[in-house]
Chain A
Amino acid sequence: MRRHSVFAIAREAMRDHTGWPRAWARVEPRDRYDVVIVGAGGHGLATAYYLGKNHGITDVAVVEKGWLGGGNTGRNTTIIRSNYLQDPSAAIYEKARSLYETLSQDLNYNVMFSPRGVLMLAQTHHEVRGYQRTAHANGLQGVRTEWIGPGRVKELCPIMNIEGPRYPVLGGLWQSRGGTARHDAVAWGYARACSDMGMHILQSTEVTGIETGPGGVQAVNTTRGRIACGKLGLVAAGHSSVLADMAGFRLPLESVPLQALVSEPIKPCMDIVVMANTVHGYLSQSDKGEMVIGGGTDGYAGYTQRGSFHHVEETVRALVETFPILSRLKMLRQWGGIVDVTGDRSPILSKTPVDGVFINCGWGTGGFKAIPGSGFGFAELMATGASPLCAAFGLDRFREGRFIDESVAAGVAH
């Protein structure tokens, strides 16, 4: 792997950039790997990466039916925060956030992590209490957040309308070290590092069946042949139920559309990320200048990767109300993805009823911010059989009634 740096660019500029190698190798599938991971999104690639980096396991294939990073990793609104209420959530999201802080250097790939701060607005007394509770919890969890009043909110975000008239801003939960990153770069950075470790990323390779036997998982059948594996990690977000079905178990999951949109780019007008749960919308400005807008899911199952337009209208309405200068900007593009939502809206990182098969899913609308933490923990779970980061997120929590419910503190999009 050629090391990235400004010197490398200068050198390559001299020879018309002909020396840049492939970011990830083009490979033919072998007939067996120690570990096969299904899904080359951020979570799947990060899992592979940490299997190699932390556990020395590099005989790994990541199998992807489309193009790597093409699912939710390539469609999200790039928000990174860890201001969650429940201990297990805070732990894994904070692990992710702290890994994001040095990810560009770790991967030698600029993922453009921008710690510009995330603000959760409180517009009802119930929200005020909820976020104040979260602030207390975060302090004990090692997550740096603080409760701030409306004056400070306005300072951080001058374009916000804090007066209402409908829902005046009562304050907010501020995480100054949350922020954003460039979503594609996260996938590409991990993919390049995995490839560099000799792992195989098999794009355009769809899993069509999972073979199990008395000892557990044997192999996956794919459109490029049968691949035997010692362990299998299913990390396919919206398609998790489809894969689980192949392996012979079911999940507490519903796959629903999630939409987002961007405006045309304008000069910088907003430095922070704002999430406004009462009115259901969140907003930030990308490095390119586009206003990035998201809201809640379409509430019913769908695998089309597109949604109903009235949800977009509701989100835009809420944000134009909260940020009046948005009104004359124009929606440039809208899109959708498929998010998998669990019974308690928290993820599943777990062994499964099939030996050797592990599942990482259910991130709902909160997947992007978790990528490094999820990969770190899931790799540990697959490699050693246990992981403190994953312990609370087992599949068995539902039958036990041990919900991890973030709805008090959840962002509009978890």
Chain B
Amino acid sequence: MTTRRLERGGRLLNRARPLGMRFDAYYVRAFEGDTLASAILANGHRLLGRSFKYHRPRSVVASGPEEPNALLGVGEGGRFTPNVRATTEPARDRLVCRSQNAWPSLDTDVGIVNDWMAKGLPAGFYYKTFLSPRPFWKHVFEPFIRRAAGLGEAPSEPDADTYETTYAFCDTLVVGGGIAGLAAAKDAADRGDRVILVEQNAHWGGRAPVDGDVVEGQAAEDWVRDALRTLDASENVTCIPSCQAAGVYDHGYVLLNERLDGDGPRERLWRVRAGRVVVATGALERPLSFAGNDVPGVMLASAVRDYVVNWGVSPGERTVIVTNNDDAYRTALTLLNAGLEVRAILDARPKADGALSRRVAERGVDIQMGRGVAKVLGGKTVTGVATCAQSGEGEVLQTIECDAVAMSGGWSPVVHLWSHCGGKLQWDAGRAMFVPDADRPPLGADGTGFVTTTGAASGDLTLAGLAVDVAQHATAPILPVWQMPEGAPHALRAKSFLDFQNDVKVSDVRLAAQEGFESVEHAKRYTTLGMATDQGKLSNINGLAILSDALGQPIPQTGTTTFRPPWTPVTLGALAGEAAGELFQPLRRTPMHERHEQAGAFWEPVGRWRRPYCFPQGKESHADAVAREIAATRNGVGMLDASTLGKLRVSGPDAGRFVDMLYTNMMSNLGVGRCRYGLMCDENGFLIDDGVVARLSDDVWLCHTTTGGAERIHGWMEDWLQTEWFDWQVHVVDLTEQFAQIAVVGPKARTVLERLGGMDVSRDTLPFMRWSAGTLAGIPVRVFRISFSGELSYEIAVPANHGLELWDAIAAAGADLGITPYGTEALHVMRAEKGFVMIGDETDGTIIPQDLGLDWAISKKKDDFLGKRGQQRTHMTDPDRWKLVGLRTLDGSVLPDGAYALDEGRNENGQRKVQGRVTSTYRSPTLGHGIAMGLVRRGPDRMGQVLFFTGSRGKTIDAEIVSPVFYDPDGEKQDA
């Protein structure tokens, strides 16, 4: 047994609440307050994982989210989570967890073969090989690499948990609930700020209670408890434990990620807008780089005392401490006080006589100055260390038998949140750390800094700079030690690990420098240092120091890699929040939606709307339903829900002038009571929308847009009115959702409306392309005689709250006439039979009205309209442009969507030349054969010519160029 539970101690434990868990094949006894790491160690298991590349055995190295090794798969089924950090996951009764990235077992992993081949697998080896034979990359090498890569298993079932999001605003956000953070929160609260204080752990206090600090004369633990009480009592303060600040974004936006207990959502995402952010995130201890520093049992010195004090766990019976600074001596005292042996302290400094080291010396511990670890003995677990002179080349001076090594290479302030929005760092050579440069903070919207740091995050490890009084110990300075020993030969450097998860060693970084990867970013990417799940929290500084040494340049010149959010990984489900399944996006429905659902509609998404595509009856196929709907409409009467089309009311003294600019047509001379089909183009001259415009009164025009175009065209109108012609008096209102719209279509349409009664819909009173207001079935309506199908057609606008009522009334009135609801597909086919274009089908963002034979809609009398100048450019007036025609296959079949008409030869790039393409294609039930519209070079001049269109599997289909108006070319029916 190397690691075990101590009989006493464990300030976070509730020993009255024992738990049982399973880790791989082992039963693990734990207590409430344990983490998975503390519990597993307490049960005597040191091996928790295997490293990424070499599959070397790995154990816990740290005690917090910075942990690179102890990643486990936790839970089962819909609650299985891979890559869980054992150091931060709370123990729960009956929890099941398993190790990752080892086969067949953690103990005996075949992947260890990689370690045996490590000499041949240095950093970047894969760039230099796997080059031949060429097909082997795809079929042999890559699949093997992919299978060996990755850490945890992918979940196989949908997430059984839910996630919540919320918003908050505050004046001061304090990140970190240690002494510095609590003090800062109290200050801000006293000033009257709205304060949010977050702490990533479930417990408060940071390092101070573990290290036994005295704050304002009180034991740290007590001071923390009192501070919390004060804060909790303040109305303007919100304290959130188990909550990390994942990222700081521009203009004071901070993302918080809170872990929740209980039966509700698993996590909560906070979107916070803070006036200022105080970063009190402390500092992380650095490992030392010596050979074998990755062997299970080697741990950060501060983590050793965390396990002893917080969780009553002994990380080792006989520990050797290796350090370059005074802080590690605290670990000696903690171990001794717990009744554990400290075999020796190897202090790399030539001499040091701080208060802490004197206290340890007084306890009789063997302190060796100027010494380091040449090599750790043991493979799967520490069995001893070979010592050497730090200033030498690794010649072994002594072998010390031990079962654990506590290492401390110094401390690095946690500067991530400071850096996310551009806060700069400076290198403090005396303390061997990067600290925030307070003169170059991240700047907010007003150009001043909006983030500050305090406490250890500022580099103030002893909290001497705080307003609260923290008892100080006189300490000897740190000696930067980036390689142990200083003159280590390659063999030792090749076993001195920097990045424990990605297996990046000192020798790898030196190799990167040798090969010219001199920028810190190049070195990172080449070696993958800092790219693992811990994102270099324990490795970045050590790595860049080695790089600096290899390049012979000072550390500040090397600099750091970019700090990016998140601080620690955030569950993707938490980012997705509640917007999943039916709530994924808002759904827009018409007032008649339910009725269509009841009628068996097959739905189609059109923007955020749902429209019925067709209404299959019984076992009808969609094609049969569409054919039936068309036949019923053309021969009798059909009804369509047209509510989704945009309706924009444009009014005011300058409304006429405005619509004249928006449309290619002249609209200001449209008579009251009349309707006109209009085209809108952008300033490039390209068609962006079409629709019928109705003149409602002298200064009111009602503009219809395509479905989903309402907001876009309304925005377009407002853009011009507010930013260009802002002295024109025009008012635009989007009425799309105020009115339902129902089209009653077919030879018997008039009969149906006459049965409803209320207004005169005769041909004389309401001819084609006019509108009229009145009532139908007692409901106020506006009726437009417009037709997209080519039949006698009435489009009826009715206030939305009467939409369903009118729909039902129409259905009832037409029941004995066989009135048939039809959907978008029937609509599309019917308009194609009439040669009517559709935005999005005949247009693709590069089509001008002249291409579609719509020259008649372009006013020659207007000097200016949006798009006019654009259409005058050379490419737009090129006679070779492809223009709209109808296409009819010789064999009556249906041309495929998007088919191209072949031309002779190939272009300069070896591509086949083409002379046209299909834009809409359908089977016409009315005509009994396939019909299509397309764009063909000089198409209208080539009536009767046969073209060869691309089919499937290299076949071609012959089609003749015809008029696009296949049905009722004289337009008698719509004029009925």
A residues adjacent to B (C-beta < 8 A): 4-6, 8-10, 13, 16-18, 20-26, 66-68, 70, 74, 87-88, 90-91, 95, 102, 104-105, 108-110, 112-116, 123-126, 128-130, 132-137, 139-142, 159, 165-167, 184-185, 188-189, 203, 263-269, 278, 285, 287-289, 304, 306, 308-309, 312-313, 316-317, 319-321, 324-335, 388-389, 391, 397, 399-403, 405, 407-408
> Which residue of A has the minimal Cβ distance to B78?
A328
Residues of B contacting A13 in the complex (Cβ-Cβ under 8 angstroms): 119-120, 122
Residues of A contacting B684 in the complex (Cβ-Cβ under 8 angstroms): 401, 403
Whether the Cβ atoms of A113 and B582 lie closer than 8 Å is no
Taken residue by residue from 595 to 610, chain B's Cβ proximity to chain A (1 for < 8 Å, 0 otherwise) reads as: 0000000001110000
Q: A184-B525, A388-B908 are in contact. Are A105 and B132 (CB under 8 A)?
A: yes
Whether the Cβ atoms of B911 and A90 lie closer than 8 Å is yes
Whether the Cβ atoms of A306 and B81 lie closer than 8 Å is no
Residues of B contacting A142 in the complex (Cβ-Cβ under 8 angstroms): 910-911
B residues adjacent to A (C-beta < 8 A): 52, 80-83, 119-120, 122, 125-132, 134, 137-138, 142, 145-147, 149-159, 161, 247, 249-250, 253, 255, 271, 420-422, 490-491, 494, 507, 511, 514-517, 519, 521-522, 525-526, 533, 535, 562, 564-566, 569-573, 575-577, 579-582, 584-585, 587, 604-606, 613, 684-686, 840-841, 844-846, 870-871, 873-876, 896-900, 902, 907-912, 914, 917, 950, 954
Whether the Cβ atoms of B137 and A328 lie closer than 8 Å is no
> Which residue of B has the minimal Cβ distance to A21?
B515
Identify which of A13, A21, A109, A397 gathers the most chain B CB atoms within 10 Å of its CB.
A13
Q: Report the Cα distance A269→B126, complex, angstroms.
A: 22
Q: Report the Cα distance A316→B577, complex, angstroms.
A: 10
Residues of B contacting A268 in the complex (Cβ-Cβ under 8 angstroms): 146-147, 149-150, 154
Whether the Cβ atoms of A267 and B876 lie closer than 8 Å is no
B428 to chain A, nearest CB (A): 25
Whether the Cβ atoms of B535 and A332 lie closer than 8 Å is yes
Q: A5-B131, A10-B120 are in contact. List 7 more A-B contacts (CB 8 A).
A: A8-B129, A22-B516, A140-B902, A287-B149, A321-B584, A388-B907, A400-B875
Whether the Cβ atoms of B950 and A140 lie closer than 8 Å is yes
Q: A309-B249, A334-B566, A401-B873 are in contact. Are A4 and B154 (CB under 8 A)?
A: no
Q: Report the Cα distance A332→B65, complex, angstroms.
A: 12
B528 to chain A, nearest CB (A): 8
Identify which of B494, B846, B899 gathers the most chain A CB atoms within 10 Å of its CB.
B846
Whether the Cβ atoms of A129 and B844 lie closer than 8 Å is no
Whether the Cβ atoms of B572 and A327 lie closer than 8 Å is yes
Q: Report the Cα distance A142→B577, complex, angstroms.
A: 43
Residues of A contacting B613 in the complex (Cβ-Cβ under 8 angstroms): 125
Whether the Cβ atoms of B152 and A264 lie closer than 8 Å is yes
A183 to chain B, nearest CB (A): 9
Q: A20-B515, A403-B846 are in contact. Are A132 and B137 (CB under 8 A)?
A: no
Q: A313-B576, A328-B573 are in contact. Are A401 and B131 (CB under 8 A)?
A: no
Whether the Cβ atoms of B575 and A313 lie closer than 8 Å is yes
Q: Report the Cα distance A376→B841, complex, angstroms.
A: 35
Q: A268-B147, A317-B575, A401-B876 are in contact. Are A332 and B134 (CB under 8 A)?
A: no
A-B contact pairs, 7 of them (CB 8 A): A10-B120, A184-B526, A267-B154, A329-B154, A330-B572, A388-B907, A403-B845
Q: A136-B899, A328-B81, A401-B874 are in contact. Are A267 and B584 (CB under 8 A)?
A: no
Contact of B156 among A25, A325, A391 (CB under 8 A): A325
Residues of A contacting B535 in the complex (Cβ-Cβ under 8 angstroms): 332-333
Contact of B159 among A88, A266, A324 (CB under 8 A): A324
Residues of A contacting B873 in the complex (Cβ-Cβ under 8 angstroms): 399-401
Q: Report the Cα distance A188→B522, complex, angstroms.
A: 10
Whether the Cβ atoms of B122 and A331 lie closer than 8 Å is no
Identify which of B271, B605, B896 gathers the most chain A CB atoms within 10 Å of its CB.
B605
> Which residue of B has the minimal Cβ distance to A289?
B150
B262 to chain A, nearest CB (A): 18
Residues of B contacting A166 in the complex (Cβ-Cβ under 8 angstroms): 581-582, 584-585, 587, 605
Contact of A16 among B421, B494, B900 (CB under 8 A): B494
Q: A114-B138, A309-B253, A324-B159 are in contact. Are A401 and B685 (CB under 8 A)?
A: yes
Residues of B contacting A403 in the complex (Cβ-Cβ under 8 angstroms): 684, 686, 845-846
Q: A20-B515, A136-B898 are in contact. Are A330 and B249 (CB under 8 A)?
A: no
Q: A266-B152, A267-B153 are in contact. Are A124 and B605 (CB under 8 A)?
A: yes
Whether the Cβ atoms of B898 and A133 lie closer than 8 Å is yes
Identify which of A105, A137, A397 gathers the most chain B CB atoms within 10 Å of its CB.
A137
Whether the Cβ atoms of B898 and A5 lie closer than 8 Å is no
> Which residue of B has the minimal Cβ distance to A286?
B149
Identify which of B122, B127, B535 gathers the most chain A CB atoms within 10 Å of its CB.
B127
Q: Report the Cα distance A130→B914, complex, angstroms.
A: 17
Q: Report the Cα distance A24→B911, complex, angstroms.
A: 38
Whether the Cβ atoms of A91 and B911 lie closer than 8 Å is yes
> Which residue of A has the minimal Cβ distance to B152?
A266
Q: Report the Cα distance A5→B146, complex, angstroms.
A: 21
Q: A136-B899, A139-B950, A328-B81 are in contact. Are A333 and B564 (CB under 8 A)?
A: yes
Whether the Cβ atoms of B249 and A264 lie closer than 8 Å is no
> Which residue of B has the minimal Cβ distance to A124?
B605
Whether the Cβ atoms of B250 and A9 lie closer than 8 Å is no
Whether the Cβ atoms of A329 and B522 lie closer than 8 Å is no
B551 to chain A, nearest CB (A): 11
Contact of B127 among A4, A26, A159, A334 (CB under 8 A): A4
Q: Report the Cα distance A102→B138, complex, angstroms.
A: 12
Residues of A contacting B525 in the complex (Cβ-Cβ under 8 angstroms): 74, 184
Whether the Cβ atoms of A112 and B134 lie closer than 8 Å is no
A335 to chain B, nearest CB (A): 5
Whether the Cβ atoms of A133 and B897 lie closer than 8 Å is yes
Residues of B contacting A137 in the complex (Cβ-Cβ under 8 angstroms): 898, 900
A290 to chain B, nearest CB (A): 8
> Which residue of A has the minimal Cβ distance to B573?
A327
Q: Report the Cα distance A235→B516, complex, angstroms.
A: 23
Whether the Cβ atoms of B516 and A110 lie closer than 8 Å is no
Q: Report the Cα distance A23→B511, complex, angstroms.
A: 11
Whether the Cβ atoms of B562 and A267 lie closer than 8 Å is no
Whether the Cβ atoms of B134 and A102 lie closer than 8 Å is yes
Whether the Cβ atoms of A330 and B83 lie closer than 8 Å is yes
> Which residue of B has the minimal Cβ distance to A345?
B845
Whether the Cβ atoms of B516 and A67 lie closer than 8 Å is no
Residues of B contacting A320 in the complex (Cβ-Cβ under 8 angstroms): 572-573, 575-576, 580
> Which residue of A has the minimal Cβ distance to B74?
A328
Whether the Cβ atoms of A405 and B845 lie closer than 8 Å is yes
Whether the Cβ atoms of A325 and B158 lie closer than 8 Å is yes
Contact of A265 among B491, B533, B564, B870 (CB under 8 A): B533
Residues of B contacting A269 in the complex (Cβ-Cβ under 8 angstroms): 154
Whether the Cβ atoms of A389 and B909 lie closer than 8 Å is yes
Q: Report the Cα distance A361→B910, complex, angstroms.
A: 24
B796 to chain A, nearest CB (A): 27
Whether the Cβ atoms of B131 and A110 lie closer than 8 Å is yes
Residues of A contacting B576 in the complex (Cβ-Cβ under 8 angstroms): 313, 316-317, 320-321, 327
Q: Report the Cα distance A24→B582, complex, angstroms.
A: 54
A361 to chain B, nearest CB (A): 20
